[in-house]
Chain A
């Protein structure tokens, strides 16, 4: 097994859930997301020699994943990636209030929120994956966080409730 294959496998093992969950928000279901993740890593493996190391490996795989997700939505491939999706919680009934709050954000903001807080990508990787600048990522995230807090009706959400939600 070559070094790059090992690196891709390492990203897969460490970050599978981040990919699957954020893509579930983008593709609309866990099942579709799972398929996209598998396909993305398979394509990344197959074309690993094309990775030139200019961006983090994870961002490069994310770009492939977003392209596959876009392809499956049959959107025009030339559409900017950051504007091509309308992410939602795949099971909005789990947290209806949060699902409603997310819907108040524009699709671009939602995508970036998912990539940052669900996929745990850093600003540079989000910028690379979405083909936008890091400044745009920072500004979008800042606006999205304020808007989400406002929509959730609490500037500083109750930590106890959040802990319970996270532990359920």
Chain B
């Protein structure tokens, strides 16, 4: 509860004001949802001795009856609902935005990002192409290559579709967007540009000084404390590369549609037993960032055929002490790829309506499908499955090595 203004001279009232100001989200009250949930709940039990005995007997009988019967829940070909594009708001002005730059320097050069948060009281738009430049009035024009990477198309089934670029049409207060950039190979002549200029889609410019956003990397070589990239090769152009604005939030309505609990008592596993395999000798690692996973020995890869659906099963085990029941059907994310990158990523809604309660320690099996693209590179690759909670990944699994065949 917010205190009245005449109480703000009182330190306690002031503290209350400040605390409440730190919680700025709008109300999401929904009494009908409470009533729906209440209807789904079982009536509370009065734990008389007889009832305890009765429940214990039922549980023992049910556990025995369930032990041998395991069905597989069929796959549901349903992507998450499309996020609607909001109506176009007026362009964001520089004074509407809190702008922050983060960057680091390393052997590769200077890499960073600029984040912008709408601090005004109205929604504003960052739709359109951003423009970045390196500036410093005191130096002559450097030999500079500026390269813009347009956003990749967002397919309806991709996880990025939960956070579509169309959200940039109206950024609500306290939400924002970010833009990534990299600057490589500065060899002069003259001193390096000392600031990054961002031109907003509305035309206004924001200048961000590299030195103002430098946090010292104590104890590291000076390369890591630099405010410009190292000279890699003199003959080469210096290059500034940047991408599109990307929204940094998912609408609450989308998150709440697929949100479960803050902790899920579920352990996920992909059932590889029974899948066709192919024995191959492989030298090196299967997954990027995992050097030496397999070193020159024969290994059983799951065989996946290019251009056809890859069918498999996933098991969810209830690791909690109580029966688990899905209140909402969550999303899951499937990725199939090779060490050079992702080949395909798709997000689906878990077919949980017919699951019922999963007893403690018991498993529920789900049939899964993922189309392997016709143009997928042949040979080794990986596959991963992740349960999501709202728009967050939960319990990412160890990727499974696959071998893509024609």
A: which residues have CB within 8 A of B? 9, 12-13, 16-18, 20-21, 24-25, 27-32, 34-36, 38-39, 41-43, 45-47, 49-50, 72-74, 89-91, 94-95, 98-99, 113-114, 117-118, 120, 145, 148-149, 155-157, 159, 162-163, 165-168
Residues of B within 8 A of A155 (CB): 11
Q: How far is the CB of A40 from chain B (nearest CB, A)?
A: 9
Contact partner of A16 (CB less than 8 A), chosen from B24, B27, B255, B256, is B27
**21 sample A-B contacts, Cβ–Cβ < 8 Å, listed by A number:** A17-B29, A25-B23, A29-B262, A31-B252, A31-B255, A34-B28, A35-B256, A39-B37, A41-B31, A42-B35, A42-B40, A46-B42, A74-B263, A89-B23, A94-B174, A95-B18, A98-B22, A145-B12, A148-B15, A163-B5, A165-B17
The reply to whether A99 and B44 form a contact with Cβ atoms under 8 Å apart is no
Q: How far is the CB of A58 from chain B (nearest CB, A)?
A: 12
Contact partner of B23 (CB less than 8 A), chosen from A13, A34, A90, A168, is A90
The answer to whether B247 has its CB under 8 Å from any CB of chain A is no
Residues of B within 8 A of A50 (CB): 44
Contact partner of A159 (CB less than 8 A), chosen from B9, B21, B35, B38, is B9
Residues of A within 8 A of B24 (CB): 91, 94, 168
The answer to whether B374 has its CB under 8 Å from any CB of chain A is no
Least CB separation from B28: chain A residue = A34
Residues of B within 8 A of A118 (CB): 19-20, 23
Contact partner of B18 (CB less than 8 A), chosen from A16, A21, A120, A157, is A157
The reply to whether B19 and A98 form a contact with Cβ atoms under 8 Å apart is yes
Q: Tell me the complex Cα distance, A135–B292, Å.
A: 61
The reply to whether B20 and A12 form a contact with Cβ atoms under 8 Å apart is no
Q: How far is the CB of B265 from chain A (nearest CB, A)?
A: 8
The reply to whether B17 and A46 form a contact with Cβ atoms under 8 Å apart is no
Q: Tell me the complex Cα distance, A148–B18, Å.
A: 12
1/0 contact string of B96-128 vs chain A (CB within 8 Å)? 000000000000000000000001010000000
Q: Tell me the complex Cα distance, A73–B226, Å.
A: 43
Q: Apart from A27-B262, A149-B11, what 16 extra A-B contacts exist at CB < 8 Å?
A: A13-B29, A20-B27, A20-B28, A35-B262, A41-B31, A42-B34, A42-B36, A42-B40, A50-B44, A72-B263, A91-B174, A145-B11, A145-B15, A156-B11, A159-B14, A162-B14
Looking at B22, B29, B31, B390, the one whose CB has the most chain A CB atoms below 10 A away is B22
Q: Tell me the complex Cα distance, A149–B121, Å.
A: 29
Q: Tell me the complex Cα distance, A94–B19, Å.
A: 10
Contact partner of A45 (CB less than 8 A), chosen from B34, B121, B174, B390, is B34
Residues of B within 8 A of A149 (CB): 11, 15
The reply to whether B23 and A42 form a contact with Cβ atoms under 8 Å apart is no
Residues of B within 8 A of A74 (CB): 263, 265
Q: How far is the CB of B337 from chain A (nearest CB, A)?
A: 29
The reply to whether A157 and B23 form a contact with Cβ atoms under 8 Å apart is no
Q: Tell me the complex Cα distance, A165–B16, Å.
A: 11
Contact partner of B27 (CB less than 8 A), chosen from A17, A45, A73, A167, is A17
The answer to whether B70 has its CB under 8 Å from any CB of chain A is no
Least CB separation from A121: chain B residue = B1
Q: Tell me the complex Cα distance, A43–B121, Å.
A: 37
The answer to whether B8 has its CB under 8 Å from any CB of chain A is yes
1/0 contact string of B17-60 vs chain A (CB within 8 Å)? 11111111101111101111110111110000000000000000
The reply to whether B15 and A168 form a contact with Cβ atoms under 8 Å apart is no
The answer to whether B143 has its CB under 8 Å from any CB of chain A is no
Q: Tell me the complex Cα distance, A38–B40, Å.
A: 13
Q: How far is the CB of B142 from chain A (nearest CB, A)?
A: 35
Q: How far is the CB of B41 from chain A (nearest CB, A)?
A: 4
Residues of A within 8 A of B233 (CB): none
Q: Tell me the complex Cα distance, A46–B30, Å.
A: 17
The reply to whether A120 and B34 form a contact with Cβ atoms under 8 Å apart is no
The reply to whether B34 and A38 form a contact with Cβ atoms under 8 Å apart is yes
Least CB separation from B16: chain A residue = A117
Residues of A within 8 A of B205 (CB): none
Q: Tell me the complex Cα distance, A43–B39, Å.
A: 10
Contact partner of A163 (CB less than 8 A), chosen from B11, B12, B17, is B17
Residues of A within 8 A of B17 (CB): 162-163, 165-166
The reply to whether A38 and B22 form a contact with Cβ atoms under 8 Å apart is no
Least CB separation from A161: chain B residue = B18
Interface residues of B in 115-159 (CB under 8 A from A): 119, 121
A31-B390 contact, Cβ under 8 Å, with A42-B34, A145-B11, A157-B11: yes
Q: Tell me the complex Cα distance, A50–B12, Å.
A: 36
The answer to whether B2 has its CB under 8 Å from any CB of chain A is yes
Looking at B19, B33, B121, B263, the one whose CB has the most chain A CB atoms below 10 A away is B19
Q: Tell me the complex Cα distance, A146–B175, Å.
A: 33
The answer to whether B261 has its CB under 8 Å from any CB of chain A is yes
